[in-house]
């Protein structure tokens, strides 16, 4: 956090711009309201924007699952019905109280992923996310969804050491629920990690979804992990400087942390 704290004291950089959370589900191509389908998180210490956006840096914390205090539902959001094989997305939520200067993008360079965990009962509000999690998406390098740095309006934000990472400064990300996902109620989790040698930052949120799958062929999401438990402080594919990937091409390709993605 050393860098962020320095940034916070800078008069030039809006303090709230440095951090983010994924409060909005993108459903049927539309951005839903902040916390409409996503478990609300709680702020650190007080209720201002910085406190709400404050990252988790403890890989052993329950907050690694769904964000601060949201592993046991902090709120009771709606459940989104999604057809297996359909597109869905997460977008960065603004603080409900508004807020000047807030820049809702993945401000830190790093890698993203999406995950599914099936609720053992019909009641998602009662599911703490202590079951099995399968990864269904991994974003490392640039894709067609990445910010277009050749566009004039984006050029002022460009930084070669950060733009290597596909999610950098994106305000949202879209992906497909695997077409063979078994029907049922799930927590759908988005995760963005800002790697750091000492104190990686974990940005995570969970949506309530019901997967509908009328097809006779359903798969078995695998491999699965527990969250927390999936990461260990110090593991080299999370605890490193993301900037080294630009300066040291021999480090490429970057292999993101396990587990492997379940493609369905
Ligand atoms: C994801 O999809 C939504 C809805 O179509 C769109 O507004 C948004 O720009 C997309 N995000 C990216 C990063 O392409
Ligand atoms: C929250 O409060 C504790 C105890 O006063 C303090 O050490 C910590 O820095 C505060 N965190 C934030 C993000 O303000
Ligand atoms: C009710 C509850 O669990 N509150 C916790 C939310 O998170 C903050 C920051 O980690 C804790 O201090 C609260 O105890
Ligand atoms: Cu930060």
Q: Is the previous residue joined to 223 through a cis bond, with omega within 30 degrees of 0?
A: yes
Q: With a 6 A CB cut-off, is 44 part of the ligand 3 pocket?
A: yes
- Tell the residue nearest (CA) to atom 1 of ligand 1: 174
Q: Which residue has the tokens 């205090």?
A: 69
HSE-up of residue 83 (Cα within 13 Å, Cβ side): 6
10 confidence band (pLDDT: 50, 70, 90):
very low
Q: Is the previous residue joined to 163 through a cis bond, with omega within 30 degrees of 0?
A: no
**Radius of gyration for the chain, computed over Cα atoms and rounded to the nearest angstrom:** 18
Give bridge partners of residue 210 from the DSSP assignment: 81, 185
Pairing of strands 172-176, 184-194: unpaired
Among the residue ranges 85-89, 110-114, 162-166, 241-245, the one predicted with the least confidence is 241-245
- Tell the residue nearest (CA) to atom 9 of ligand 3: 44
Looking at the predicted structure, is the pLDDT value of residue 16 above 80? no
Residues 147-153 have a mean pLDDT of 96
Q: With a 6 A CB cut-off, is 92 part of the ligand 1 pocket?
A: no
Closest ligand 2 atom to 54 CA: 13
CA distance 249 to 203: 27
SS3 state at 135: strand
Residues 164-169 have a mean pLDDT of 94
Q: Is 214 exposed, middle or buried (0-12, 13-18, 19+ CB in 10 A)?
A: exposed
Residue 195 Cα to ligand 3 midpoint, Å, equals 24
Looking at the predicted structure, is the pLDDT value of residue 111 above 50? yes
The answer for 253, left when phi > 0, alpha when psi is -120 to 50, beta otherwise, is beta
Instruction: Provide the residue ranges of all domains of the chain, joining segments of one domain with +.
Output: 17-245
If we measure between CA atoms, which residue out of 254, 262, 261 comes closest to residue 237? 254
Residue 17 Cα to ligand 3 midpoint, Å, equals 23
Q: With a 6 A CB cut-off, is 26 part of the ligand 1 pocket?
A: yes
Looking at the predicted structure, is the pLDDT value of residue 171 above 70? yes
SS3 state at 90: strand
Query: Quick one: pLDDT at residue 101?
Result: 39
State which of 44-48, 52-56, 164-168 shows the largest mean pLDDT.
164-168
What's the first-to-final CA gap in the chain, in angstroms?
37
If we measure between CA atoms, which residue out of 17, 22, 30 comes closest to residue 66? 22
For a substitution probing ligand 3, which of 41, 42, 54 has the most ligand atoms within 8 Å of its CB?
Answer: 42
CA distance 69 to 75: 10
Looking at the predicted structure, is the pLDDT value of residue 174 above 80? yes
Q: Where are any strands of DSSP class E within 4-110?
A: 24-27, 30-31, 80-83, 87-91
Query: Quick one: pLDDT at residue 11?
Result: 28
Q: With a 6 A CB cut-off, is 29 part of the ligand 1 pocket?
A: yes
Q: With a 6 A CB cut-off, is 46 part of the ligand 2 pocket?
A: no
pTM for the predicted model, two decimal places: 0.90
Looking at the predicted structure, is the pLDDT value of residue 98 above 60? no
Query: pLDDT for 196-237, tens place per residue?
Result: 999 999 999 999 999 999 888 899 999 999 999 999 999 999
CA distance 91 to 207: 11
Q: With a 6 A CB cut-off, is 186 part of the ligand 2 pocket?
A: no
CA distance 147 to 207: 24
Report the share of the chain in percent with pLDDT over 70: 88
CATH 3.40.309.10 fits 17-245, yes or no: no
Closest ligand 3 atom to 69 CA: 6
Among the residue ranges 184-198, 205-219, 241-255, the one predicted with the least confidence is 241-255
């Amino acid at each position: 956090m050393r860098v962020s704290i320095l940034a916070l004291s800078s008069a030039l950089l809006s303090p709230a711009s440095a951090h983010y959370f994924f409060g909005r589900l993108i459903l049927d191509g539309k951005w839903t309201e902040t916390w409409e389908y996503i478990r609300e998180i709680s702020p650190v210490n007080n209720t201002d924007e910085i406190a709400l956006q404050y990252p988790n840096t403890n890989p052993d914390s329950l907050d690694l699952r769904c964000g601060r205090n949201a592993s046991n539902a902090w709120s009771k959001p709606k459940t989104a019905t999604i057809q297996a094989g359909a597109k869905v997305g997460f977008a960065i939520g603004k603080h409900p109280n508004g807020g000047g200067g807030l820049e809702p993008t993945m401000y830190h360079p790093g890698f993203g992923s999406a995950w599914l965990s099936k609720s053992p009962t019909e009641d998602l509000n009662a599911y703490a996310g202590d079951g099995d999690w399968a990864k269904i998406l991994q974003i490392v390098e640039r894709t067609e969804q990445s910010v277009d740095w050749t566009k004039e309006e984006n050029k002022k934000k460009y930084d070669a050491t950060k733009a290597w990472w596909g999610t950098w400064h994106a305000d949202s990300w879209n992906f497909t629920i695997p077409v063979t996902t078994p029907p049922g109620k799930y927590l759908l989790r988005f995760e963005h990690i800002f790697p750091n040698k000492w104190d990686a930052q974990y940005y995570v949120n969970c949506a309530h979804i019901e997967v509908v799958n009328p097809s006779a062929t359903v798969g078995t999401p695998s491999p699965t992990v527990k969250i927390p438990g999936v990461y260990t402080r110090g593991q080299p594919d999370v605890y490193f400087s993301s900037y080294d990937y630009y300066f040291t091409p021999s480090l490429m390709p970057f292999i993101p942390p396990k587990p492997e993605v379940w493609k369905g």
